[in-house]
Amino acid sequence: MNVAAEGMEFIGHLISAASASSSAKLAQTDLGAQYPLGKQNSDTHWGLVKNGASSFAVASHVYGTVTRLIDALSTVNGRVAFVIDEAWRQLDS
């Protein structure tokens, strides 16, 4: 069983649809922002979907809040630290 426990921090990428790739650049405004968790339809990469959610298999009602920027500002599809929002924590058995 996998649990997203309170305060557990994950590291992932901010991702966006190919048509909106410039909007997936890390920005200071991403800190504290809430994005849905999603998987790219073309492969098995998961991330926080910053833009173009219709291009991804988005996990139903699962959102993460960005707590830290790992990569430098303006990095396309940059890495961030995030927590799963309390209202969306789920058990996966």
Tens of pLDDT along 15-68? 876 655 556 789 999 999 998 888 777 766 778 888 776 667 766 678 889 999
Q: Which residues of 55-84 are buried (b: 16+ CB within 10 A; e: fewer)?
A: bbebbeebbbbbeebeeeeebebbbbebbb
Please check whether residue 81 is in contact with residue 47, taking contact to mean a CB–CB distance below 8 angstroms.
no
Beta strands in the chain, from DSSP E residues, in sequence order? 2-3, 9-16, 34-40, 46-51, 56-69, 79-84, 91-92
The yes-or-no verdict on residue 92 having pLDDT over 50 is no
Confidence at residue 1, expressed as pLDDT on a 0 to 100 scale: 47
Q: Distance between CA 2 and CA 92 in Å, rounded?
A: 5
Question: Is the pTM of the predicted complex or chain greater than 0.85?
Answer: no
Structure tokens, 51? 């833009």
